[in-house]
């Protein structure tokens, strides 16, 4: 399984409970983080280069909290991502290197009910990743430099999109929600300004709403995705 997101912390807000379930079941999960995260945080005294380095450390710690030990950073500038051929190539390279069966990424479709889920970087990464899955990574003639590097074509069987308006699959994360909170707590540069109890309740509220949409019993927590078969 490969997770591709725009920023450090995106996976932990939207998908970490699901990732924790998968790793607990013995599924190997890797992360590909597209940007360096340098536009994040709230402390203007920290240089942008130092912020980028800090956010890498925070993301590695958060990944470890949910059982992920392989994290790739592509280093694109935070806030300036577009679905270029270069980004498609770079995501295709990671797909060919890691040969995942599934890819989990952000929706390229704007969600007008939750606008903060549709950051322009999120939309761009979702579009570029879908293009990388189909047709780029599976086409030996796409991005010929990848084949020259030794990375042969690979077909991903399924994509799950997070944050979009058309969720059709839900994962019960009630038993892994505490690990999701542990992962988010690692992103101190992004979340330390929140009052902890209110922040946790906000996250639980999102989880309860997803569970209700899925018809799960009251008190359960869920994360939602749009499943896109590609095989």
d(C-alpha 58, C-alpha 160), whole Å: 24
Q: In which residue ranges of the chain is pLDDT below 50?
A: none
Tell me how many degrees the CA angle 30-95-82 measures, rounded to the nearest 5.
Answer: 95
**Biggest CA-to-CA distance, the chain:** 54
Determine the straight-line distance between the first and last CA of the chain, rounded to whole angstroms. 15
Rounded Cα distance, 46 and 223, in Å:
33
Helices (H), 31-153: 48-65, 85-98, 120-131, 144-148
Q: What was the pLDDT predicted at 231? A: 74
Q: What is the pLDDT of residue 193?
A: 85
Q: Residue 228: beta bridge partners?
A: 159
Q: What integer pLDDT is reported at residue 6 of this predicted model?
A: 98
Residue with structure tokens 């295709």? 92
Question: What is the rounded CA–CA span in Å between residue 204 and residue 222?
Answer: 9
What's the pLDDT at 85? Answer: 98
- Sketch the domain layout of the chain as residue ranges: 2-229
Architecture of domain 2-229: 3-Layer(aba) Sandwich (3.40)
Residue 160, token pair as written in the block: 């799950």
Separate counts of helices (H) and strands (E) for the chain: 9, 7
pLDDT attached to residue 40: 86
The pLDDT value recorded for residue 182 is 97
Q: What is the pLDDT of residue 5?
A: 98
């Amino acid at each position: 399984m490969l997770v591709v997101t725009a920023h450090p912390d995106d996976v932990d807000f939207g998908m970490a409970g699901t990732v924790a379930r998968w790793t607990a079941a013995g599924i190997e999960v890797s992360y590909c983080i597209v940007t360096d995260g340098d536009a994040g945080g709230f402390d203007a005294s920290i240089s942008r280069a130092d912020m980028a380095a800090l956010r890498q450390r925070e993301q590695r710690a958060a990944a470890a909290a949910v059982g992920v030990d392989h994290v790739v950073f592509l280093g694109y500038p935070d806030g300036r991502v577009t679905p270029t051929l270069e980004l498609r190539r770079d995501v295709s390279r990671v797909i060919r290197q890691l040969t995942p069966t599934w890819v989990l990424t952000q929706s390229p479709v704007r969600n007008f009910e939750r606008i903060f889920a549709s950051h322009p970087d999120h939309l761009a990464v979702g579009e570029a990743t879908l293009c990388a899955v189909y047709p780029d990574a599976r086409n030996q003639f796409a991005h010929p430099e990848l084949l020259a590097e030794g990375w042969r074509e690979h077909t991903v069987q399924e994509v799950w999109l997070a944050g979009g308006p058309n969720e059709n699959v839900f994962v019960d994360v009630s038993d892994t929600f505490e690990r999701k909170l542990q992962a988010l707590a690692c992103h101190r540069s992004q979340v330390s300004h929140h009052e902890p109890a209110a922040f946790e309740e906000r996250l639980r509220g999102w989880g309860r709403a997803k569970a209700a949409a899925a018809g799960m019993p009251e008190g359960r927590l869920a994360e939602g995705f749009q499943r896109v078969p590609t095989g």
